[in-house]
Amino acid sequence: MNLLTLVLFLPLAGFLAALLVPRDRPGLVRGFVLVVSLAVFVLSIGLALPQAPAAQGYWFETNAPWIQSPAIRFHTGLDGLSLWLVLLSTLLTPIGILISWNHIDRRVKEFYAFLLLLEFGLVGVFVALDLFLFYVFWEVSLVPMYFLIGIWGHQRRIYAAVKFFLFTMTGSVLMLAAMLYIYGVTGTFDYPTLLTMLASGRWHVESGEQMLLFLAFFVAFAIKVPLFPLHTWLPDAHVEAPTAGSVMLASVMLKMGTYGLVRFCLPLFPNSARHAAGWIVTLAIIGIIYGALVAMVQPNMKKLVAYSSVSHLGFVVLGVFSFTQAGLDGAVYQMLNHGISTGALFMLVGYLYERRHSLEIADYGGVATPAPWLSTVFLITTLASIGLPTLNNFVGEFLVLQGSAQVNFRWTVFAAIGVILSAVYMLWLYQRVFFGEAGEPVRHHVYDLSRREWAAILPLLVLMVWMGTLTQTFLPAISASNARTLERSNVNVEFQVKARTPLVAGQAGQAEARPAKEPPDAR
């Protein structure tokens, strides 16, 4: 049992133990899960320490048989892509527990137990290196989130929970079918083995076949991202979820989709991914602008932040499908950035809700007077979210735009409009909530940050500055694994040359420039 396995299974053990705590001791449950999740976080920091480059292998690899026939292995490991996402999950779980401390007053035990189960599923998704295992964790993470929304949510919680579950499930059963097909052809679910087979030409897929497989995976991930027009579950789920649920959903769960794109879609189906890149980028850009425009007119703060997520994640997809080193680095960095800044935004909106018991922007105004520290923290988070230099989002957005400009300058132009719009809706939100005359209810109910609330938000503020200034802490590992992904996505691009739609023209040219990579007798 190595450190990674420990980080993976400790939350599960905590979940089971939390279930055994007597129902009438809510304080005990809270303390217990907080200790467990902090322990998991501290252990997971250990994962980031050995930065020795893992050439082909993975850090902390575990590879044990689980089911003999069909060959399914318990294969887990870390690389630069998954490392920071695992850390993001383990960091946000204790934070989610802290912000729910007084907020959750019924069925306390189950709430915190489900948070730990969710952590188990999320970490599992990021470390699984076997397609089947990945699918299992993918579904495991779904169930606790369904309950978090459905039991502790707001008025329309059941509708939102069912919608969330059905959307994700519909996509993922098709992904399962595609996985089984791959197994039928290759005889393995093992991700590294599949990559080797693909590179050596032992697993050769026809273009039409590859496109179908790609689409089955892509749709599952695109629903989770969510990519326009599959995003409709997201505003509902976010608005109805309790604060901790929104935070975990926005910060980590959405990353399951983008992670899947980078981890599976690009290296396993390189031709189709390049072939479809034009269309996908178009959808991503529509998402960027559409999300921003819709966010601008929202009267509800949570909905506004939810639509801003659609916009931000469009950047990630744009970066991924630019097929450039800068674009991919930016996309992965932006996944972390979005997790931190949007997570923080949801937390702050949750703080406001705990005070004023309303999510409507119109019910606020002048909050800066009674709560100066809260306003300051919100301002920093807002500025981070709109991409102010020296704060984290700037780095990610810059890299994504740079990467997309290398391929097609028009993409960059359209995407940059989204950056401007994000400043518009966020600053306007800030103005309407924090400035102006403080009404009677605001003066009466709104108070400044408590020590517990500081403890929850401070790590995120530190990370915003850290990630905006000291990018070298994070980027080298990400770049190394992205370079490998890009290399793999170049293994065979023979039919890519024919795919010349106007939008991918630049990139098709790139592909033509690399015919030497193609083994002459691949067919």
Partner 1 sequence: MSQYYTATDHFVLVPAIMLALFGCAILLFDFWVFPEPKQRKWLLAFLALGEAFAGYGLWQQHTYIAGQGIAELTAFQGSLVVDGFSLFFNWMFIAAASIVALMSYRYLEVEGEHHGEYYSLILLAQCGMYFLASGADLITLFVGLELMALCFYIMVGFLRSDKRSNEAAMKYLLLGGFSSGFLAYGFSLLYGLSGSTKLSEIGVAIARRDPADPVLLLAMVTTTVGLLFKISAVPFHMWAPDAYEGAPTTVTAYLSVGSKAASIAFLLRIFLGPLASARAAWEPLLVFAAIASLTVGNLAAISQHNIKRLLAYSSISHAGYMLLGLVAGNETGIKGVAVYVLVYTFTNLGVFLVIVALRREGLVGDNIDDLAGLMHKSPGYALLMLICLLSLAGIPPTAGFIGKYYIFLSLIQAGRYVLAAAAALYVAVAIYYYFRIVRSMFMSDAEDAGAMETTFGVRVAAALTGLGTLGIGIFPEPFLRFAGQSLIR
Of 24-32, 40-48, 66-74, 388-396, the segment contacting partner 1 by CB under 8 A is 66-74
Q: Tell me if 59 contacts partner 1 by CB under 8 A.
A: no
For partner 1, which is the closer residue by CB, 118 or 294? 118
d(CA 186, CA 193): 10
Q: Does 22 bind partner 1 (CB under 8 A)?
A: no
> Of 173 and 286, which has the nearer Cβ to partner 1?
173
* CA–CA dist 405, 400 (Å, integer): 8
Tell me: cis bond preceding 226? Omega within 30 of 0 counts.
yes
Separation CA 39–CA 7 (nearest Å): 9
Query: Per the structure block, which two tokens stand in for 260?
Result: 């899947």
Contacting partner 1 (CB under 8 A), which of 45, 166, 297, 470?
A: 166
Asked if 231 touches partner 1 (CB under 8 A), the answer is: no
Does 181 bind partner 1 (CB under 8 A)? Our answer is yes
| 183 belongs to the binding site for partner 1 (CB under 8 A) | yes
Does 142 bind partner 1 (CB under 8 A)? Our answer is: yes
Assess 135 for contact with partner 1 (CB under 8 A): yes
Say which residues have a Cβ less than 8 Å from residue 454's Cβ, sequence separation at least 6.
Answer: none
409 contact partners, CB below 8 Å, separation of at least 6? none
Exactly one of 22, 57, 184, 520 binds partner 1 (CB under 8 A); that residue is 184
* Interaction pattern, residues 69-98, with partner 1; x per rule: CB under 8 A: xx----------------------------
Q: Is residue 119 a contact residue for partner 1 (CB under 8 A)?
A: no
Is 121 or 366 the residue whose CB approaches partner 1 more closely?
121
Smallest distance, Å, CB 280 to partner 1? 22
d(CA 327, CA 482): 10
Element containing residue 72 per DSSP (H, E)? strand 72-78
Q: Which of 71, 174, 416, 417 binds partner 1 (CB under 8 A)?
A: 174
- Please name the amino acid found at residue 76: T
Least spacing, CB of residue 61 vs partner 1, in Å: 22
Helices of type H across 187-300? 191-200, 207-224, 233-240, 243-248, 254-260, 266-268, 270-296
Q: Does 473 bind partner 1 (CB under 8 A)?
A: no
Collapsed DSSP state (helix, strand, coil) of residue 386: coil
Return the range that interacts with partner 1 (CB under 8 A); candidates 153-161, 219-227, 305-313, 498-506: 153-161
3-state secondary structure of 10: helix
Kindly state whether residue 162 participates in binding partner 1, applying the rule CB under 8 A: yes
Q: Is 291:307 a contact under the CB 8 Å cutoff?
A: yes
Within a 10 A sphere around the Cβ of 312, how many other Cβ atoms?
A: 29
- Is 483 a binding residue for partner 1 by CB under 8 A? The answer is no
Alpha carbon 261 to chain centroid, angstroms: 11
Under the binding rule (CB under 8 A), the answer on residue 177 touching partner 1 is yes
Nearest alpha carbon to residue 367 among 354, 321, 493: 354
Q: In angstroms, how far is the first alpha carbon of the chain from the final one?
A: 43
Which residues 6+ apart lie within 8 Å of 420 measured at CB? none
| Under rule CB under 8 A, residue 180 binds partner 1 | yes
Contact between 157 and partner 1 per CB under 8 A: yes
The reply on whether position 170 binds partner 1 by CB under 8 A is yes
Query: Rule CB under 8 A: is residue 140 a binding residue for partner 1?
Result: yes
Q: Does 169 bind partner 1 (CB under 8 A)?
A: yes
Match 């739609």 to its residue by tokens.
501
- Contact partners, residue 489, CB within 8 Å, separation at least 6: 266, 267, 270, 273, 274, 323
Strands (E), 346-451: none
Q: How many residues bind partner 1 (CB under 8 A)?
A: 33
Choices 26-34, 45-53, 172-180, 506-514 (CB under 8 A): range interacting with partner 1: 172-180
Interatomic CA distance for residues 170 and 172, integer angstroms: 6
For partner 1, which stretch binds (CB under 8 A), given 96-104, 151-159, 345-353, 491-499? 151-159
How far apart, in whole angstroms, are the C-alpha atoms of residue 155 and residue 232? 18
Q: Alpha-carbon distance 129 to 239, whole Å?
A: 33
Question: Shortest gap between Cβ of 521 and partner 1 (angstroms)?
Answer: 27
Q: Of 107, 154, 488, 500, which one interacts with partner 1 (CB under 8 A)?
A: 107
Complex with partner 1: residue 239 or 429, whichever CB lies closer? 239
Q: Rounded to the nearest whole angstrom, what is the least distance from the CB of residue 109 to partner 1 in the complex? A: 9
CB 69 to partner 1: min, Å: 7
**Residue of 43, 143, 197, 416 that binds partner 1 (CB under 8 A):** 143
Which one among 3, 38, 176, 416 touches partner 1, defined by CB under 8 A?
A: 176
Question: Could you tell me which residues are beta bridge partners of residue 76?
Answer: 62, 128
Contacts to partner 1 by CB under 8 A: 66-70, 107, 110, 135-136, 139-140, 142-143, 146-147, 150-151, 157-158, 161-162, 165-166, 169-170, 173-174, 176-177, 180-181, 183-184
